[in-house]
Amino acid sequence: METNGHRLDLDSAPLGPVARLIVIVLFEGVDLLDVTGPPEVFSLVPRETDDAAGYRVVLAARTLDPVTTSAGVRILPDLTFGEAAARRIDTLLVPGAVEVDAERRVRALTDPEVVGWVRTLAGRARRVASVCVGAHLLAAAGLLDGKRATTHWSTAGQLAAEHPAVEVDADPVFIREGEVWTGAGISACLDLSLALVAEDFGEGVALRVARQLVMYLKRPGGQSQFSVPLEPVSATRRGEDLRHFIRRHLGGRLSLADIAAYAHVSERQLARIFTSELGMTPAAYIESARVELARGQLEATDATLERIASTCGFGTADTLVRAFRRTLDTTPTEYRLRFRTAAG
C-alpha cells in the first residue's frame, strides 16, 4: 500500500503496546478476496472495542512491485518477505491460488520460493492461518504434518494425496489445531477472521463486527449447510429490549407470561409484537436463541449434554436433542463430532 505516492513507512508508525501485527502473504495469482476479506474484518475491531489499537495489517511479497491477483486487480505490498521476517508477527495469514484446466478441473498452486518464506515467517509468528487453498502452502511448508486441516472442497483430494501426513477434513469452515488455523473456501476467510477476533477480543466483539458486515457471526462448518444467520434485529426499541431480555435469561425459567409481564403487555399482544417485528413467535425465538447458545458450547467446550441443556435453559438433554432435530436436523452429539473447531 502507498500513501500520497510514497511507500508506507511502518517504522515511523509505531504499533503501540497492544496492537497485533498481521502479515498477509502476497504472490502472483493469489485469490483477491483471500487477501482483502480479512483486513475488512480486522479494521472494524477498534470501532467495536475499547482497544483502539486493534490490529495492524501489512502485505508482504518477494519485492515491492505490484502483485497481480487472480481477479486481475493489482495490489502493492507494504514490505518484502525479508523485511517481514525481521519483525515479531502476531498472525501470519496465508492465502492461496489455483489454476483451472480446459476441463475445469481445479488445482492448487504452490510456489517453492513462497513456501520457503511461509516456513520462515511462521517461525516469527504467534499463530498461523491459511485461507482457502492457502492450506496447500502450509502443508508444503510442513506446518500441517500430524494435524487435522481443511481447505476448499475442490482441492481437498489433492491436499490429501500430496500430503498424507495431514488429516484432511473438507467439511468444517475452519479448523484450529493449537496455533495453526486452516479455513475453507474463499468467503470462509471472513468466518476464519471472525474466529480470530473472537479469540483475541471475545465473542461479543466478533458478533458486533459481524453485524457491521451484515454476515454470519461464526459458521461452524460444512460448507454453510448448518449456517444460521445473525439473530433477527427489531426495528423498534421495544422489540430490541424484549430480544435482549430473553438473551439475558436463556439459562433460567423463561415463560411467555414472564416475558409479557416484563413488557407490560398481554401474551396475545406479545405474540403480535414478535410476529410483526421479529418474524417468529416468542416460543420459536426462545428455542432458536437457546440452540445458538448450545451450539457455541458444543463447538468450544467438552461440557456434557446434560450440563449444556441446563445452562442453556432446555432443562433436560432430551429436550436439547429434540430442539436440535427441529432446528438443525441433527443431534447435539453429531453436531459436536462434525463441527468442533477447537483442538481436542
* Structural contact between residues 287 and 326, judged by C-beta atoms closer than 8 angstroms: yes
Residue 263: φ, ψ to 5°: -85, -5
* Annotation marks residue 132 as catalytic: yes
Angle of the 256-263 helix axis to the 282-300 helix axis, nearest 10: 110
At 273, the amino acid letter reads I
Alpha-carbon distances, residue 205 vs 8, 158, 211, 253 (angstroms): 29, 36, 10, 27
Q: What pLDDT was estimated at residue 29?
A: 96
Residue 328: φ, ψ to 5°: -120, 0
Query: Containing H/E element for 275?
Result: helix 267-277
Distance between CA atoms of 196 and 182, rounded to whole angstroms? 11
Q: What pLDDT was estimated at residue 266?
A: 93
Which residue intervals of 18-173 are DSSP H helices? 32-43, 45-48, 81-85, 112-122, 135-140, 156-162
Each residue's pLDDT tens digit, 39-62: 999 999 998 887 767 899 999 999
Each residue's pLDDT tens digit, 169-198: 887 788 899 999 999 877 788 889 988 998
pLDDT per 10-residue tile (average), the chain, 344 residues: 45 56 97 94 89 88 97 96 96 95 88 97 97 96 96 90 92 88 84 90 84 61 40 62 86 88 91 83 89 87 93 94 86 80 46
User: Per the residue annotation, which of 44, 75, 132, 312 is the catalytic one?
Assistant: 132
Residue 134: φ, ψ to 5°: -60, -20
* Structural contact between residues 56 and 49, judged by C-beta atoms closer than 8 angstroms: no
Q: What pLDDT was estimated at residue 224?
A: 37
Decide the pairing of beta strands 106-108 and 98-100: antiparallel
Q: What pLDDT was estimated at residue 116?
A: 97
Half-sphere exposure of 182 (CA within 13 A, CB side): 31
Q: What pLDDT was estimated at residue 216?
A: 47
Q: What pLDDT was estimated at residue 228?
A: 43
SS3 state of residue 245:
helix
* Residues forming a β-bridge with 167: 148
Q: What pLDDT was estimated at residue 205?
A: 86
Among 238, 310, 248, residue whose Cα is nearest residue 277: 238
Burial of 164 (0-12, 13-18, 19+ CB in 10 A): exposed
Distance between CA atoms of 82 and 158, rounded to whole angstroms? 30
User: How many Cβ atoms from other residues are within 10 Å of residue 224's Cβ?
Assistant: 16
Eight-class DSSP state of 249 = T
175's CB contacts (< 8 A; 6+ apart) are 148, 149, 150, 169, 181, 182, 341
Q: What pLDDT was estimated at residue 344?
A: 43
Alpha-carbon distances, residue 128 vs 108, 180, 314 (angstroms): 19, 5, 38
Q: What is the grid cell recorded at 51?
A: 482497544
Distance between CA atoms of 47 and 237, rounded to whole angstroms? 22
Distance between CA atoms of 38 and 62, rounded to whole angstroms? 21
133's CB contacts (< 8 A; 6+ apart) are 31, 96, 97, 98, 108, 109, 151, 152, 155
Among 110, 177, 187, 123, residue whose Cα is nearest residue 150: 177
